[in-house]
Structure formats: C-alpha cells, structure tokens
Amino acid sequence: MQTAICHVDPAQRDPASPLPHNISLVKHLNKEKSYKKYLESEYSDQWRKHLELTLSNPPGRVRAHVHWHLHNKHKRSMYKPAPYLTHQCCPYQLELLRIRTQHTMHIIPSHLHYALRHARADYKDRVCPHCLAAGITVLGDEMHIICHCPATKLVLAQFTAKFQGHTPLKNLPPFASFTPDEMTRLVLGNPPPPVLTKDLKGWITEATPIYSEFAHALRTHVTSLHTVDVDLSSDDDAAQSSDSNDYFSPILLPPGFQPAPAPPHGKILVPLHLAGQQMLGQHILFKWPTYGWCLGKISAWNSNPKCKVCKQIVNFTVSYPDDSSSGPHCLSLDNYNIDSDNDFTNHTWLLLESCPNP
C-alpha cells in the first residue's frame, strides 16, 4: 500500500513527511477521509492518462473504448460508475452496457474478439458485413454501424426526433448539428461537453432511457438482417497471449447431431416475435454452470411479455430429456457459441441439426 501511495504522492516516501497542504487545512477528524479523496483523484488522473496514451496507437478495441467513453470533458473516476449506470429504473440499460463493453460482436463487427476457425485478422479488417455484401469494404465500428451504414443507420433516423426533442431541454445544440463522431458518443450514453456538471444528474435521468431504448432498437434491427458470416478476431495483447494459436477443445456432440451451419437469423430470436415459432422442435446444447453442456429441445414459444429471466423477456421453453426438466430461456446471438467451443462461458448455447444418414 505504501508503494502504491508513493506513486501518486512521492512526498510520502518518507512516512514522517507532512500531508499535502490542502489536506493539512481540514479538521483533524476529517483528514483521513480528505486524504482518501485526494488519492482517488490522483489515481484516476493517472489511470486516464495511461489509457489516453492508446489514442495515438493504431485502431483497436482498447483505443475505440477510450475514444468513445473516456476521452471527454467530464473526467471519469476509477471509483465511480459511468453516468448511465447510475440510472435506477432504465428498462434497456443492459443493452447499452453490452454495446459499451464491446459485447455485441454480432451487432458491431469491430467488437468481435476471437476467431478459432481461421487465422487471426487485424482490427482494421473487421469489415461491415452489410456493406461487404454490396462490394464495399469498410471497418464495421460503432460510428459506421450507427451513422453511416445504409442497412443500419435508419435506426438513428427513427430516433432523431427523440434526440432532437431532448437536447433543447438542457440548452444543448440541436442534435442534427452534431458531427457523426459526436452523435456516436452521445447515443452510447456519454454526456456531451456542453452539459454542465450541475446539470449532469438531470441529464442522466432524462437521457439514459432514450439511449438505452436506441441500443435495444439497434440490436433488434441488426439481428433481423440476414448478415454475411465474416470471421474476424482481436488484436488485443491479452487475446494474443492467451490464444496465440487456433487450437481449442470442441464440444462432444450427442450421437446423431451436428452443429447447425449458422445461428438463427432474422427475427427468429426476437422475444414475442411470431417468427420464433420456427424454432419449435429444434434441438440445442445449453451450458449450465454445474452440469456443463446439456441436450435440450425447444418445446414452447413464449407469448407472455411478463415472463422474464433476469429482467429479460423469455423467448422459448427448453425441455431436457436427461432429467425430464424444462425451463424458460432467453436465447440470443449474444450468447451463441458460434465456434462450438467446449470451454465457452456458461449460459451459452448452440443450435443442432440431425446428422445426414450415411
């Protein structure tokens, strides 16, 4: 602890040295608390400076995260959550969290952080599949998918009226006057620079539900598109060190089954959408924390919007013949095991199909 403190307050290398001048002015009973806040501020400044160094690096996932979420007037603290997370009752807050943490690799192609079927690709090669189908090669990052891609930018157009109606409430410039870079940062839940610190709480209360709803609408729209399968990967140092080769442990499939060639597309997985009835009778593998991969069969389609698991609307009921049990499931592309990897995380699934007769 002493070593860590000395990194931000070198004077404390000598335990007998006095506290910083502004700390010494407070009451004796409050000095410990004041010094704690002082250290938090210093640590946060060093944390931001360290991350902002990545802005001079070639494009990558870390650089993108810093660019969109940390490089702004409102200084982020290591000890406080992002503003949008402080909203107490936002219906689609998880959708916004997934985009901000780069967990939506089926929505934003540049979020894809692994590839086990083919050789690794650089971040700059994670192209937009919708534009690639039209013969155009362009990086499928957040700004492209939200603002520029002809197949997906219509979601932003649908929400422009809501964004436009909100900005005057906080004396902000019209939403249409923002640059694509500013629009992207805004719809990802980051307060624009003109918002004063004293108005930040009000902005969070009014803006977070709108931007969370936008994140949900974007995911719903993109998953309704029949996208081209583009296998891309990460250039993150951590990914290179832990997955420097393409070897992995495949799932031991039940007899008579093989992985489906592609995950369900269109609106099949959208909760309450009638297209989901096409999944009735399909077999899946679902990974449970204790039992591992279990063979199940989709036995029912959910039409009740009040049926939820972890605040998410259930789309299917899955029956498991091994123990004659069944339960509600929220199956989506976000938790789909596209590589049939046995070591994939819990609560993920894989669509199966019957093996052809020999």
pLDDT for residue 234:
46
**278, two tokens:** 């096409």
pLDDT for residue 241:
40
What percentage of residues in the chain have a pLDDT greater than 70? 84
Is it the case that residue 135 has pLDDT exceeding 50? yes
Q: What global pTM score does this model have?
A: 0.62
**In the chain, domain spans:** 2-56, 83-223, 249-354
- 292-301: strand order across its sheet: 257-259, 349-354, 283-288, 292-301, 316-320, 325-329
Beta-strand (E) ranges in the chain? 257-259, 283-288, 292-301, 308-309, 312-313, 316-320, 325-329, 349-354
Q: What is the mean pLDDT of the chain?
A: 82
pLDDT for residue 358:
60
What percentage of residues in the chain have a pLDDT greater than 90? 32
- Sign of the Cα torsion 38, 44, 47, 48 reads negative
The pLDDT tens digits of the residues spanning 228-250 come to 444 444 444 444 443 434 445 78
- Sign of the Cα torsion 74, 80, 84, 86 reads negative
Strand, helix or coil at 176?
A: helix
